[in-house]
Amino acid sequence: MKVNLVITRPIFRVLLTTIITVVGFMLLTVFLPWQKNDGIEVGTDLTEYSMPWTNNSPFYPSEWQTEDHKLVNWRSVPSATYCAECHEKEYKEWASSIHAITGPDAIYEGSILENELNSENGGEYATEKIRWCDGCHEPLGILAGEGTPVVAVGPNEALEEGATCILCHTATKADPLAGNAGLTLNINEIKRYMSPSLIMAAPEQHALSMQAKSHNPMMGESEMCGTCHTEIRPTRVNGDFPLHFQETFDEWRLSSYAEQGIECQNCHMHPEPAQYIQALKRGERPKRKVSHRFVGNNYLLTAAGAIPDKLLVDLRGGWFPGRNVFMTSEEWLTDLKKQQALILDLLKEAADLKVRKKPSKNNQQLRLDVSITNSGAGHYLPTGALDQRHMWIEVKATDEAGNNVYHSGWFDQEKGVTDPNAVMYIKTMLDKEQNLIDRHILFDVEKMYYQRKPIRPNETDHVPYVINLPTDVQGKLTVEVTLWYRLALQPIVENIKKNLVPAPNLDGVIIPPIIMKKTIINIDNVI
């Protein structure tokens, strides 16, 4: 068999074009300028950057790492509004979340300034120490090199955005037990497309750069969240030993939720977290769905309609990025209401409350067992910054005529103060002079203890009440038991008033508590 090969004009054209094209591409590849890494080198590009404790990381005492150990280039780091060009749904969800305002939030801003400027232990390196807090709260600022006394970082909307898209979406490694933002980012070598339309045409490299879950399973694991939801004060900030302030990840790690593979994202990134938890309680395991609302506990900074719009915007540290481009103010405020409804539903799903009358020695004594079960949270209840976030029990007994015969756990709506004798799940913090720290001055904490320990997942806390009834009480009693949750103590507002210029008008503003659970029982056998 002999093959007679004839090269016709068309074949010749194909061969010639192929050769010319390949040579052209080779030349393009060799000569077209491209900067693979646009990170900023401390010491070379940024000579005035202060690193008083270690040369290993420009971000210490936060635990951030970049794969190339360089700072992020503030000129090129993309804002959430850039992502919103295509991912509008995700952007809108995020814009209403608390992740969008971890930095500008007035409560945080006031507290951070108080720690930096007015705390006992701020001292000479107060600005550098703030990297510990800002690492999670103003991450891009720290990554770009703002946490230094002589700042050489220009303006970029992204740096003000709190926990913004590019952070989680360039994370390659997580060290949740180290906490304090223990993430490693591959952020300086993102493959930047010439145009968003090219991302759409060939998104594979984008998905790789942005750590799509299909490439990086860590995106769907609790370890990712744990890096910031673990807060440990390093000894460089104060103290002889690291002080564990928040251990939400570890609480989850040792729970049955971790054993069952129910990750943080399953609940907190579900579009309807309360519904997801209800399904878990029924023994179901619904398919994971993803929303970027990050529904948590902050019912205050999502309280559109309940707080005047201006005050809400001031407390959130301003309007959202991309206002009137991707969303109008009205749309956003409406969405905030939805966000708050999801938060309230989630909080109400977290606990179960039961009240049982116990046998008494005599009829003038009422003994109750109030039991609170952490039935819906994969971490302790409450969790987080437990010097501020707290729960307490209110027990109110009234006689047939409606007279108060017992009242524990009252809340003064005008002063924002809770009954000091209430059963309260809160961490008390003291400074070295044993003064109470109730404004989140974590730099100065020397000692801390729980008034009542938070409740572990699926565990029940039994709280005994012995009520000595007045001698004239007769007939039926109605006992109303309420489990309250409050985001923060009232004195935290002072940080805002004292440190923010201009400070929002907070006269008469009370941080409200919300009801998690309420139950009423009637008791017949009182004489």
Nearer Cβ to other proteins (29/434): 29
Segment 10 to 39, residues that bind other proteins, using CB under 8 A: 10-14, 17-18, 21-22, 25, 28-30, 32-34, 36
Instruction: Name which position in 198, 436, 515, 527 contacts other proteins (CB under 8 A).
Output: 198
Amino acid of residue 152: A
Which segments of 299-386 does DSSP mark as H helices, in order?
A: 309-315, 329-350
Could you tell me the two tokens for 226?
């744990």
Q: What's the closest the beta carbon of residue 27 comes to other proteins, in angstroms?
A: 9
Instruction: Name which position in 204, 309, 330, 412 contacts other proteins (CB under 8 A).
Output: 204
Residue 154 touching other proteins (CB under 8 A): no
Instruction: Name which position in 51, 152, 212, 341 contacts other proteins (CB under 8 A).
Output: 212
Residue 330 touching other proteins (CB under 8 A): no
Q: What's the closest the beta carbon of residue 407 comes to other proteins, in angstroms?
A: 56
Residue 450 touching other proteins (CB under 8 A): no
Nearer Cβ to other proteins (22/306): 22
Helix (H, G, I), strand (E, B) or coil at 419: coil
Kind and range of the H or E run holding 128: helix 126-129
CA distance 258 to 222: 9
- 352, 391, 342, 348: which is closest to 374 by C-alpha? 352
Q: Which of the ranges 187-195, 251-259, 472-480, 502-510 carries the binding residues for other proteins, by CB under 8 A? A: 187-195
Instruction: Name which position in 69, 173, 192, 337 contacts other proteins (CB under 8 A).
Output: 192
Q: What's the closest the beta carbon of residue 200 comes to other proteins, in angstroms?
A: 4
Q: Which of the ranges 137-145, 202-210, 235-243, 370-378 carries the binding residues for other proteins, by CB under 8 A? A: 202-210
- 294, 333, 297: which is closest to 313 by C-alpha? 333
Residues 77-96: x where in contact with other proteins by CB under 8 A, - otherwise, as a string:
--------xx-x--------
Q: What's the closest the beta carbon of residue 171 comes to other proteins, in angstroms?
A: 18
Please, which residues have CB within 8 angstroms of residue 382's CB and are 6 or more apart in sequence?
Answer: 297, 389, 390, 391, 425, 454, 485
For 115-120, which contacts have Cβ atoms below 8 Å and span 24 or more sequence positions? 115/440, 115/441, 115/442, 115/443, 117/499, 118/441, 118/498, 118/499, 119/441, 119/443, 119/444, 120/431, 120/432, 120/443, 120/444
Nearer Cβ to other proteins (11/306): 11
Residue 9 touching other proteins (CB under 8 A): yes
Residue 194 touching other proteins (CB under 8 A): yes
Is there a contact between 333 and 305 (Cβ–Cβ < 8 Å)? Answer: yes
* Sheet strands (E) in 160-249: 171-174, 183-185, 230-233, 243-247
Angle between helices 273-281 and 329-350 (to 10 degrees): 20
Residue 324 touching other proteins (CB under 8 A): no
Q: How many residues bind other proteins (CB under 8 A)?
A: 45
Nearer Cβ to other proteins (165/496): 165
Nearer Cβ to other proteins (216/227): 216
φ, ψ at 169 (rounded to 5°): -85, 5
- 81, 105, 112, 104: which is closest to 94 by C-alpha? 81
Instruction: Name which position in 104, 203, 286, 491 contacts other proteins (CB under 8 A).
Output: 203
CA distance 449 to 509: 29
Question: What are the residues binding other proteins (CB under 8 A)?
Answer: 1-14, 17-18, 21-22, 25, 28-30, 32-34, 36, 85-86, 88, 191-194, 196-198, 200-205, 207, 212, 214
